[in-house]
A and B are shown apart, each in its own frame.
Chain A
């Protein structure tokens, strides 16, 4: 993430990473130059530094850049990069100054980095001082002049259950990664509060919580949330950015009720054949139903053919990903 290198630096990266089939680290240091890379859709987002850079910051910035690019031109792949070359330069110039990430809030950026031509300077001067105060202000993620006829906000809770089970079928670990996704279409700069249920226990104090309490191991918030308020009163208060954002992310390991139970059995038949029998059982009330259930069963790398027999649904072998997919 630093200044003017000679062109050949790109060659070095190409030799070391792009044409190297066995890259074993996202960070490579040659001499005193380090390359950080994140790969996405066959593109590499690379940051180069000669300092002892903050690696977490660099990667977070790469992720953020990918997000911004996605929101500007839909997807990020070779074609979109080629089509938006100038815009990308302009963006990078704005979100990063001399290796220091600056304002990276999409909403604010969109107010002054556009694909449209620049308007004449008379009105622009006033307009831009508004922009600059916003870009540097305490709520850099929100324009103050947003107006909606109808004020509404949507909250979605998305949970991912991670489970690892031993070969014998005992659960080794199960945890829930959840995040609260919010879409806010509100006028002005509204102050929002989000209350948490009493059943929610965030600090584990040693003794187990009462009955069916949901214990969160950890939670982290979008930068708009006032962390001090949360620490003191357990309320989540914030001024939301306009549009969609991830308000909160949490993790829980206790009382994880698995929605589905998967019972796999593996039979090795001789040295050249393996048989998987996978049974899935629903663990929830029969009034509910699950939709979009997909099973992905990894296969050995040297698989030649797969013969699928299913009771319901469809199963297909996808050689490119080395999996059998059941829908």
Chain B
């Protein structure tokens, strides 16, 4: 206590800093008075320390801090003459504002401009806090946003990668409120090179950058459009960097660079890391679907990979080839015999189901389809549901193609009987009954239904929903952007963020606006309810595993609705110029970039599942 009035400013600062770390009522009580003095101390070092002390006090006892008028004092500190003090005050207010029970922290134009003045003089860390706080300013006019963007764009040249990423975050945010196309293009152009430069930092920062780039290029495809080569993996990159690069490579692939990308992917397919190889093989297949011109080469690459007979390579190849068949009907069926040769190598449900789908779909061209299917049926009752469903559908298709043959008749009867009598899974049983009745009532119509023409697969679905994307980009550089999840979904007590409507918000962003639930809601995992699917879809290991095996799946009309809205005005959409046209494809939302292959995706782990020791992790941390 005495130290708080010491003549030495270092000691004064140290005294309040130490005291404020002790979150017990007695200490916070006695701290109140000296802290108030220190916030007005003549030495900037003491003031900047005191600013952070307010957050500590707030964490310990929010109501007392509010009653003591500390929040107002912080607000005054934002206009301090010393840049470091300003930065710390901003950081403190931001943290208080981020709490779901905290006060709402917003900036007006005048304060935001003051902060920008302090930007030039503050330390690199201070710049981060200030840039970050700009997201709390909602521009009312296009010109305000544009002017501000012009002022911060120079920060992209900073050596500290966190400053660069935070500047990008602020720019992306401001762009939502801009009108001037030229300036928007200019910002996009300016953003590319610094992002690439981040890749020469340490691997950890590279990783953060890569995960963010993945989001940015979806929202602003103009950024990094021609830079696919910089994302080619180096042989000594850590695995997490490689996996992140792979995904970006796939996203940046276009007709012009498809062959280069393919050549790289083929190299990766002979690497040692299993996950990496799998993802590479899958990317080759996805590339074939995305870029029509490259499809021939991709198929060749996949076939030569299958010759290696490495089990997981073959399985991945089969899975993607199934999709390729659907994308280009009638073009590549010639390779079916090769696939059939590798039947024995398949031991995972997903690849098995894919192969069975191929067998059923093309059983009219495969002479010994019935034999092959019969072999597979041998273990029907032991298979996973995914495979069982595929087998059931394939058997029915086979029967419809070859209804004359007795063996197929016997076969389909056997499967239907199993599915309806010996299996407990309701899906399987229902589907069995459905087929059975259809076949019993009118086999011809059943045939038409089962073999109905399927909508072609596209890759538009890889794009995240615009609203969700806008929302995620508000978290650029943070944990949420690494996991591509909104922080409120995996962090307790985190408040959600969303773009705020204002007269300056451009209409396309407004169309995709996501509204936030009020913070009073239960502090457990909050799911944002909004117009669009709020969860980034690619992250979900959901039920769309076998969309292709169902003959007539119910198309959820709501799923494609927000996309359509986007399509109609994509022509004059800012920065999204090369958005591929997509029709009302009910499947487009079902098949993510890498299907349900997500083992390698970074994601937060739920506490309690991580072995016996962490079962009580949440309690232990709080």
Chain A residues with a Cβ under 8 A of chain B:
3-6, 8-9, 11-12, 15-16, 24-34, 36, 38, 49-57, 59-63, 93, 97-98, 100-105, 112, 121, 124-125, 128-129, 131-133, 135-138, 140, 162, 164, 166-167, 172-173, 175, 177, 217-223, 226-228, 230-231, 246, 249, 251, 298, 301
The one of A3, A121, A166, A298 in contact with B263, judged by C-beta atoms closer than 8 angstroms, is: A166
A249 with B128, Cβ < 8 A, contacts A24-B240, A52-B487, A138-B83 known: no
Is A227 in contact with B158, judged by CB distance below 8 angstroms?
Answer: yes
CB–CB A100/B478 < 8 A: no
Is B372 in contact with chain A by the CB < 8 A criterion?
A: no
Tell me, yes or no, whether B436 is within 8 Å of chain A by CB. Answer: no
CB contact under 8 A between A26 and B491, given known A8-B620, A33-B621, A301-B272 = no
Q: List 16 A-B contacts (CB under 8 A).
A: A5-B621, A9-B621, A12-B614, A30-B614, A31-B606, A50-B492, A56-B166, A63-B205, A97-B88, A101-B125, A112-B10, A129-B43, A136-B48, A217-B193, A217-B197, A246-B159
From 84 to 104 in chain B, residues with beta carbon under 8 angstroms from any chain A beta carbon are 84-85, 88, 91, 95, 98
> Which listed residue (A34, A54, A62) contacts B132, Cβ 8 A?
A54
- What are the residues of chain B within 8 A of A129 when measuring CB–CB? 8-9, 43
Chain B neighbourhood of A217, CB < 8 A: 193, 196-197
Q: Could you tell me the distance in whole angstroms from the C-beta of B233 to the nearest C-beta in chain A?
A: 9
B332 an interface residue at 8 Å Cβ cutoff?
no
Contact status A31-B479, CB under 8 Å: no
Q: A31 with B48: in contact, given A26-B240, A172-B229 (CB under 8 Å)?
A: no
Q: Cα distance A31–B366 when bound, in Å? A: 50
**A11-B613, A32-B492, A53-B478 given; A100·B193 CB < 8 A:** no
Give chain B's interface residues, CB within 8 Å of chain A.
Answer: 6-11, 13, 17, 21, 43-46, 48-49, 52, 55-56, 59, 82-85, 88, 91, 95, 98, 120-121, 123-125, 128-129, 132, 153-155, 157-162, 164-166, 193-194, 196-197, 200, 202-205, 207-209, 229-230, 232, 234-235, 239-240, 260, 263-264, 267, 272, 275, 475, 477-483, 487, 490-494, 600, 602-608, 610-611, 613-614, 617-618, 620-621
- Interfacial chain A residues near B275, Cβ < 8 Å: 24
Specify the chain A residue showing the minimal Cβ separation from B21: A3
Given contacts A29-B604, A32-B490, contact A12 B48 (CB under 8 A): no
Cβ contacts under 8 Å, A218 to chain B: 193-194, 196-197
From B49, which residue of chain A is reached at the shortest CB distance?
A97
Q: Which residues of A contact B197 (CB under 8 A)?
A: 217-218, 220, 249, 251
Q: Which of B165, B239, B491, B606 is in CB contact (< 8 Å) with A56?
A: B165
Are the CB atoms of A220 and B157 closer together than 8 Å?
yes
Question: What's the nearest-Cβ distance from chain B to residue A165, in Å?
Answer: 11
The reply to whether B98 and A51 contact each other, CB–CB distance below 8 Å, is yes
> Which residues from chain A contact B490 at a C-beta distance below 8 Å?
29, 32
The 3 closest A-B pairs by CB, nearest first: A31-B607, A132-B45, A218-B193
CA distance A198 to B417 in the complex (A): 82
Q: Which residues of A contact B600 (CB under 8 A)?
A: 24
Residue of B nearest to A132 (CB): B45
Q: A98 contacts B52, CB within 8 Å?
A: yes
Taking A100-B125, A132-B10 as known contacts, 9 extra A-B pairs with beta carbons closer than 8 A to each other, sorted by chain A number, are A54-B132, A55-B481, A59-B208, A128-B8, A136-B48, A137-B82, A220-B159, A222-B159, A223-B124
Bound-state Cα–Cα, A223 to B6, Å:
33
**Would you call B45 and A135 a contact (CB within 8 A)?**
yes
Residues of A within 8 A of B202 (CB): 38, 59, 63
Chain A positions within 8 Å of B610 at CB level = 16, 30
Also in contact, A55 and B479, with CB within 8 A (given A24-B240, A218-B197): yes
- Contact A32-B618, Cβ < 8 Å, known A51-B98, A220-B194, A231-B154: yes
B315 to chain A, nearest CB (A): 21
Most chain B beta-carbon neighbours within 10 Å: one of A54, A101, A177, A230: A54
Query: Which B residues touch A167, using CB under 8 A?
Result: 267
Say whether chain B's binding surface is mostly helix, strand, loop, or mixed: helix
Q: Judging by beta carbons under 8 Å apart, are B203 and A26 in contact?
A: yes
Q: How far is the CA of A32 from the CA of B494 in the complex (A)?
A: 10
Of the residues B165, B194, B479, B621, contact of A6 by C-beta under 8 Å: B621
- Cβ–Cβ contact B491 & A52, under 8 A: yes
Min CB distance B487 to A, Å, is 4
A38 neighbours in B (Cβ, 8 Å)? 202, 204
B30 → chain A closest CB, angstroms? 19
B6: A residues at CB distance < 8 A: 121, 125
With a cutoff of 8 Å between Cβ atoms, the chain B residues found around residue A15 in the complex are: 611, 613-614
List of B residues within 8 angstroms of A54 by Cβ: 128, 132, 162, 165-166, 477-478
A173 engages B45 (CB within 8 Å): no
A132 touches B159 (CB 8 A): no
The smallest C-beta distance from A49 to any residue of chain B, in angstroms, reads: 8
Q: How far is the CB of B519 from chain A (nearest CB, A)?
A: 15
Q: How far is the CA of A139 from the CA of B475 in the complex (A)?
A: 30
Q: How far, in Å, is A87 (CB) from chain B's closest CB?
A: 16
Residues of A within 8 A of B95 (CB): 51
| Chain A hits for B483, CB < 8 A | 29
Q: Within the complex, what minimum Cβ distance (angstroms) separates B92 from chain A?
A: 8
Complex Cα–Cα for A128 and B232 (A): 51
- For A112, the chain B residues whose CB sits under 8 A away are 10
Give which listed residue, B9, B264, B478, B618, contacts A55 with CB less than 8 A.
Answer: B478
Closest CB in chain B relative to A24 CB, distance in Å: 6
Q: Which residue of B lies closest to A52 (CB)?
A: B487
A298 to B235, CA, bound (A): 9
In the bound complex, do residue B84 and residue A57 qualify as a contact, i.e. CB atoms below 8 Å apart?
Answer: no
Interchain nearest-CB distance for A286 vs B (Å): 31
A13 to B120 Cα, complex, angstroms: 38
Q: How far is the CA of A312 from the CA of B293 in the complex (A)?
A: 48
Known contacts A36-B204, A166-B263, A218-B194, A136 near B84 by CB under 8 Å: yes
B129 to A, closest residue via Cβ: A100
Among A60, A131, A249, A301, chain B packs the most CB atoms within 10 A around the CB of: A60
Q: How far is the CB of B229 from chain A (nearest CB, A)?
A: 4
Min CB gap B304→A, angstroms? 14
B41 CB to nearest chain A CB (Å): 10
- Chain B neighbourhood of A298, CB < 8 A: 235
Known A-B contacts A100-B52, A103-B123, A173-B229; A52 and B85 likewise in contact (beta carbons under 8 Å) = no
B204 touches which one: A52, A59, A227 (CB < 8 A)?
A59
**A24–B157 CB distance below 8 A:** no
Contacts A3-B21, A227-B155; is A25 near B602 (CB within 8 Å)? Answer: yes
Residues of A within 8 A of B621 (CB): 5-6, 9, 31-33, 50
What is the bound-complex CA distance between A30 and B48, given in angstroms?
A: 33
Question: Which has the most chain A C-beta neighbours within 10 Å: B162, B194, B204?
Answer: B204
CA distance A105 to B232 in the complex (A): 35
Query: What's the Cα separation between A301 and B494 when bound, in Å?
Result: 45
Instruction: Identify the closest chain A residue to B488 (Cβ).
Output: A52
Which chain A residues border B194 with CB–CB below 8 Å?
218, 220
Q: Is the CB of A30 within 8 A of B604?
A: yes
Q: Which residues of B contact A132 (CB under 8 A)?
A: 9-10, 13, 43-46
**Smallest CB separation, A224 vs chain B (Å):** 10
If A97-B49, A132-B44 touch, does A32 touch B208 (CB 8 Å cutoff)? no
Expressed in whole angstroms, the minimum distance between the Cβ of B394 and any Cβ of chain A is 36
Does A62 lie within 8 Å of B478, measured CB to CB? no
Q: Closest chain A residue to B166 by CB distance?
A: A54
